């Protein structure tokens, strides 16, 4: 005898859940669009994080706001200054050397009378700070750019009879331009007042601008003995005053990133060689 045959039960649920082909094809572009937006958001987030890491630890752009480093670096009020890339990594593994062009934070005695260039409007100030971080406007801090002339333990001095010397040796400075300075070092050896001798303390640097007659550098912030000032000789007082701490150095100027007509590396000519 044959028993009753089992008949498969119909699955009404699965039939109800079967998607309409037309409806499914309409959802695909929407899902693809959402997926593309998520991917774009992730890529943008990763790019921003990587850029922040680069600016913080590796390199950062800076806008040159003044003429103190002409003609090496171009800058002036109301003009398009050079935008330079500053290497923040090198000095983690080595020490600043004579001839290096560096960006540094001005010590307290270099910041006397410094006035913020930011707007008093909080919203505008926020935008200015953001643009400063990526190098489109000058930093609000008293960040400066100069060339290292002497390092800790060396003695720097200038006399009209010898010119600028370090440890008694006359410097070779091909980056100085008489036309820019409106003065010829051959005629005016100190390009300003005689100064020194200054023995640079260990862990500090003596820095000067390439546009020597238009630069408020170590000479402008040094300590003076009144008797020597009367003789026209500056910087014979406390040697700490005119020098900057090595730890204030933000990084080494590597190349000019903007404008395109100025693209190129920033020379690190050792004047002591």
Catalytically active residues are: 68, 146
Strands annotated E in 107-248 = 143-151, 155-159, 163-166, 169-170, 194-199, 204-208, 233-234, 244-245
Element (H, E) at 229: helix 226-230
Which residues, listed in sequence order, are joined to residue 252 by a DSSP beta bridge? 87, 102
- Note whether 111 and 142 are within 8 A (CB): yes
Complete DSSP assignment for 33-92: HHHHHHHHHHHHHHHHHHHHHIIIIIEEEEE--SSTTTTTS---TTS---EEEEESSGGG
Which of 247, 232, 221 is closest to 190 using CA atoms?
Answer: 232
d(CA 188, CA 198): 20
d(CA 129, CA 273): 40
| Integer angstrom CA distances of residue 4 from 1, 7, 8, 11 | 10, 9, 12, 21
């Amino acid at each position: 005898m044959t028993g009753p045959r089992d008949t498969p039960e119909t699955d009404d649920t699965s039939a109800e859940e079967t998607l309409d082909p037309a409806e499914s094809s309409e959802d695909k572009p929407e899902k693809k669009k959402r997926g593309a937006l998520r991917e774009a958001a992730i890529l943008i987030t990763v790019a921003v994080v990587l850029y922040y890491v680069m600016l913080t630890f590796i390199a950062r752009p800076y806008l040159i706001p003044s003429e103190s480093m002409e003609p090496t670096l171009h800058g002036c009020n109301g003009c398009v200054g050079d935008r330079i890339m500053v290497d923040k990594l090198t000095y983690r593994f080595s020490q600043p050397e004579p001839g290096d062009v560096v960006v540094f934070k001005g010590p307290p005695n270099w910041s006397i009378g410094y006035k913020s260039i930011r707007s008093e409007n909080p919203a505008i100030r926020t935008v200015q700070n953001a643009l400063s971080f990526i190098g489109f406007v000058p930093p609000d801090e008293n960040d400066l750019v100069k060339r290292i002339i002497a390092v800790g333990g060396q003695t720097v001095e200038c006399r009209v009879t010898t010119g600028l010397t370090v440890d008694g040796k006359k410097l070779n400075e091909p980056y100085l331009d008489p036309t820019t300075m409106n003065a010829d070092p051959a005629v005016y050896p100190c390009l300003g007042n005689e100064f020194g001798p200054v023995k640079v303390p260990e862990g500090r640097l003596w820095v000067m601008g390439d546009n020597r007659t238009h630069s408020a550098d170590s000479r402008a912030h040094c300590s003076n003995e009144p008797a020597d000032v009367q003789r026209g000789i500056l910087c014979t007082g406390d040697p700490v005053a005119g020098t900057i701490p090595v730890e204030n150095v933000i990084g080494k100027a590597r190349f000019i990133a903007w404008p395109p007509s100025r693209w190129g590396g920033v020379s690190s000519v050792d004047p002591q060689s």
